[in-house]
């Protein structure tokens, strides 16, 4: 570890003083992260109790000393007690998976709250997303989806899936989900239900719920119940809630009530139903964010979407998917969608779907000659061009030299890599499906052909919480 800057040393001293008892159990070593709601420090577990109780969560790098390190997350005093309680409580519920960072210990003194997690040696996404080969992307996604499968099985939505919240080590092929600061129980996210009571009002009802039930079991709402036909009750939505009118803004004298829903998350990663204030949000919002990460890998862009507000974010999606699909998606959530005055947005978006979108992005880089022709990007580009034109691009000389491949090996390599790309694009389409009810679950994705070769090796997640012991002290 390099030299710790004096201001960080001072900050750590202040923290050790602010929380009596901390010094005897943990030795603060460095600051490793700073987010909106917390600062994170690397520390040594002086008593060894954390590692003893949570040993299976620590990644073995071959360096035994590393297994003594923990991460101390100091939650800022500006966070509301409810928020802190929510995060710690959810972390506690999620102790049973090695792909979710467990809460090993928690310290509190007055308004100072510290969560203790194992420390994970990981690589920053920015340093590897351009170069991870397709097999590496497969492993990354499999780790992330297994973490989500576990989280979702507990009925919890993470709400903030993004690369900085999934600590991944490309060398070990292991990843762990962190930061449950925005997470919530799926049942709570549906603002129609509070304290177990159904509260259907026009602000919190989303018609997609009816759509969902028509796809699964039938659910009767006053508006479509035979006895209520023609008798609109005031609590039911009469028409679209509000029009997402991207050109004209909102009507000045809007009489319809605005929709209310949880919109927490990080820009660029939020699912369309979050942007459209759907009150029937589910664990599928996390799957959308997985799709955005996968898009970054394949198109070599990070961040992929950068808009500052919800309207611009919807426009970005509109550029990719086209107005027809976005209108359909909006109507699912009881909204209109009007972009008639805007130029350059087509009805159909990329006709060849996400594959064509990625091809276009990579094409710019091919033209600029910014990536080597034996990289993952070149493989992806080659596959996409071949897919759209049916013509194979001749394997580059650099490629053959770099991998020392004979023609026979090259063909075998291509068959394998291309089938990986084919199935990978299928996973991408399933994640980035606009209709959340048609979007796949983490379990469905994990059983797709793309992950077949990993099934035997690592899709068996142990789920026995027994040896995880939580010690909470004031």
Ligand X SMILES: Nc1ncnc2c1ncn2[C@@H]1O[C@H](COP(=O)(O)OP(=O)(O)OP(=O)(O)O)[C@@H](O)[C@H]1O
Q: Which stretch binds ligand X (CB under 6 A): 133-141, 147-155, 162-170, 298-306?
A: 162-170
Whichever of 169 and 386 has its CB closer to ligand X, that residue is: 169
Return the closest-CA partner of residue 244 out of 281, 285, 210, 272: 272
Q: Using CB under 6 A, pick the residue from 3, 36, 253, 460 that binds ligand X.
A: 36
Q: Using CB under 6 A, pick the residue from 72, 90, 167, 424 that binds ligand X.
A: 167
Return the closest-CA partner of residue 139 out of 466, 424, 451, 428: 451
Q: Which stretch binds ligand X (CB under 6 A): 19-27, 178-186, 199-207, 351-359?
A: 178-186
| 262 touches 192 (CB < 8 A) | no
Q: Using CB under 6 A, pick the residue from 86, 98, 149, 165 that binds ligand X.
A: 165
How far apart are CB 164 and ligand X at their closest, in Å? 4
For residue 304, say if its preceding peptide bond is cis, omega within 30 degrees of 0.
no
| 250 touches 242 (CB < 8 A) | yes
Q: Does 289 bind ligand X (CB under 6 A)?
A: no
How many Å apart are CA 240 and CA 261, to the nearest integer? 16
Q: Is 46 in a helix, a strand, or coil?
A: coil
Whichever of 117 and 137 has its CB closer to ligand X, that residue is: 117
How far apart are CB 179 and ligand X at their closest, in Å? 3
What track of x and - describes contact with ligand X for positions 90 through 129 (by CB under 6 A)? Answer: -----------x---------------xxxx---------
Q: Does 32 bind ligand X (CB under 6 A)?
A: yes
Whichever of 2 and 344 has its CB closer to ligand X, that residue is: 2
For 374-398, the DSSP string reads TSHHHHHHHHHHHHHHSPPPPPPHH
How many Å apart are CA 402 and CA 1, to the nearest integer? 34
Residue 42, strand partner residues: 30, 71
Q: Does 427 bind ligand X (CB under 6 A)?
A: no
Whichever of 112 and 164 has its CB closer to ligand X, that residue is: 164
Q: Which helix (H) or strand (E) holds 74?
A: strand 69-75
How many Å apart are CA 305 and CA 407, to the nearest integer? 40
Residue 105, strand partner residues: 116, 471
C-alpha torsion angle, residues 416, 417, 418, 424 (rounded to 10): 110
Q: Using CB under 6 A, pick the residue from 145, 151, 157, 178 that binds ligand X.
A: 178
How far apart are CB 92 and ligand X at their closest, in Å? 16
Instruction: Show Cβ contacts of residue 125 under 8 Å, excluding neighbours closer than 6 positions.
Output: 163, 164, 168, 302
CA distances from 174 to 96, 98, 146 (A): 16, 10, 11
Q: Does 179 bind ligand X (CB under 6 A)?
A: yes
Q: Does 377 bind ligand X (CB under 6 A)?
A: no
How far apart are CB 80 and ligand X at their closest, in Å? 14
236 to 275, contacts with ligand X by CB under 6 A?
none
Q: Is 409 a catalytic residue?
A: no
Q: Using CB under 6 A, pick the residue from 73, 99, 158, 421 that binds ligand X.
A: 73
How far apart are CB 337 and ligand X at their closest, in Å? 30
Q: Using CB under 6 A, pick the residue from 8, 35, 211, 235 that binds ligand X.
A: 35
Return the closest-CA partner of residue 262 out of 203, 201, 337: 203
Return the closest-CA partner of residue 51 out of 117, 115, 95, 106: 117
Q: Which is catalytic among the residues 45, 105, 160, 286? A: 160
Q: Is 457 in a helix, a strand, or coil?
A: helix
Q: Which helix (H) or strand (E) holds 27?
A: strand 26-34
Q: Which stretch binds ligand X (CB under 6 A): 59-67, 163-171, 326-334, 458-466?
A: 163-171
How many Å apart are CA 405 and CA 403, to the nearest integer? 5
How many Å apart are CA 101 and CA 181, to the nearest integer? 13
Q: Which helix (H) or strand (E) holds 45?
A: strand 38-45
Whichever of 38 and 149 has its CB closer to ligand X, that residue is: 38
Q: Does 181 bind ligand X (CB under 6 A)?
A: yes
Q: Does 43 bind ligand X (CB under 6 A)?
A: no
Whichever of 61 and 396 has its CB closer to ligand X, that residue is: 61
How far apart are CB 37 and ligand X at their closest, in Å? 4
Q: Using CB under 6 A, pick the residue from 25, 38, 45, 430 that binds ligand X.
A: 38
Tell whether residue 42 is among the known ligand binding residues.
no
| 390 touches 405 (CB < 8 A) | no
Q: Which stretch binds ligand X (CB under 6 A): 32-40, 187-195, 434-442, 450-458?
A: 32-40
Return the closest-CA partner of residue 474 out of 17, 19, 16: 19
Return the closest-CA partner of residue 276 out of 186, 211, 208: 208
Whichever of 101 and 243 has its CB closer to ligand X, that residue is: 101
Whichever of 165 and 262 has its CB closer to ligand X, that residue is: 165
Tell me which residues touch ligand X (CB under 6 A): 32-33, 35-38, 40, 71, 73, 101, 117-120, 164-165, 167, 178-179, 181
Residues within the annotated binding site for ATP? 52
The set of catalytic residues is 160
């Amino acid at each position: 570890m390099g030299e710790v800057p004096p201001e960080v040393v001072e900050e750590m001293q202040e923290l050790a003083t602010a929380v009596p008892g901390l010094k005897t159990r943990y030795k603060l070593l460095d600051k490793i992260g700073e987010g909106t709601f917390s600062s994170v420090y690397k520390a040594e577990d002086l008593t060894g109790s954390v590692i003893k109780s949570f040993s299976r969560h620590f990644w073995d790098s071959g360096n035994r000393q590393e297994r003594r390190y923990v991460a101390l997350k100091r939650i800022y005093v500006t966070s509301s007690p409810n928020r802190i309680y929510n995060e710690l409580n959810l972390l506690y519920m999620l102790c049973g998976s090695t792909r979710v960072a467990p809460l090993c210990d928690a310290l509190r003194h007055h308004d100072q709250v510290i969560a203790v997690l194992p420390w994970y040696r990981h690589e920053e996404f920015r340093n590897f997303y351009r170069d991870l080969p397709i097999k590496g992307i497969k492993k990354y996604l499999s780790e992330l989806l297994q973490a989500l499968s576990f989280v979702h099985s507990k009925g919890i939505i993470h709400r903030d899936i993004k690369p900085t919240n999934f600590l991944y080590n490309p060398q070990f092929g292991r990843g762990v989900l962190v930061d449950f600061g925005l997470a919530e129980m799926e049942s709570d996210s549906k603002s129609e239900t509070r304290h177990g009571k159904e509260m259907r009002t026009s602000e919190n009802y989303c018609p997609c719920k009816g759509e969902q039930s028509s796809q699964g079991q039938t659910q009767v709402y006053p508006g479509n119940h035979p006895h209520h036909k023609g008798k609109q009750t005031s609590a039911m939505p009469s028409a679209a809630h509000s029009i997402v009118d991207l050109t004209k803004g909102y009507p000045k004298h809007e009489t319809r009530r605005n929709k209310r829903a949880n919109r927490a998350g990080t820009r660029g990663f939020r699912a369309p139903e979050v942007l459209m204030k759907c009150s029937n949000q589910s664990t599928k919002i996390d799957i959308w964010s997985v799709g955005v990460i996968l898009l970054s890998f394949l198109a070599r862009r990070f961040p992929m979407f950068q808009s500052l507000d919800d309207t611009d974010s919807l426009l970005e999606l509109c550029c990719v998917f086209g107005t027809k699909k976005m209108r359909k998606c909006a109507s699912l959530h009881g909204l209109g969608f009007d972009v008639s005055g805007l130029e350059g947005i087509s009805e159909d978006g990329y006709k060849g779907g996400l594959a064509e979108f990625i091809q276009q992005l990579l094409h710019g880089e091919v033209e600029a000659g910014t990536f080597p022709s034996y990289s993952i990007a070149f493989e992806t580009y080659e596959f996409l061009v071949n897919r759209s034109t049916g013509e194979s691009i001749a394997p580059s000389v650099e490629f053959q030299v770099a991998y020392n491949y004979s023609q026979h090996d090259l063909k075998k390599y291509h068959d394998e890599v291309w089938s990986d790309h084919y199935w990978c694009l299928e996973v991408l389409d399933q994640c980035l499906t606009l209709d959340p009810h048609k979007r796949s679950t983490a379990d469905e994705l994990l059983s797709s052909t793309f992950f077949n070769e990993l099934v035997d090796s690592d899709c068996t997640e142990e789920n026995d919480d027994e040896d995880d012991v939580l010690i909470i002290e004031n």
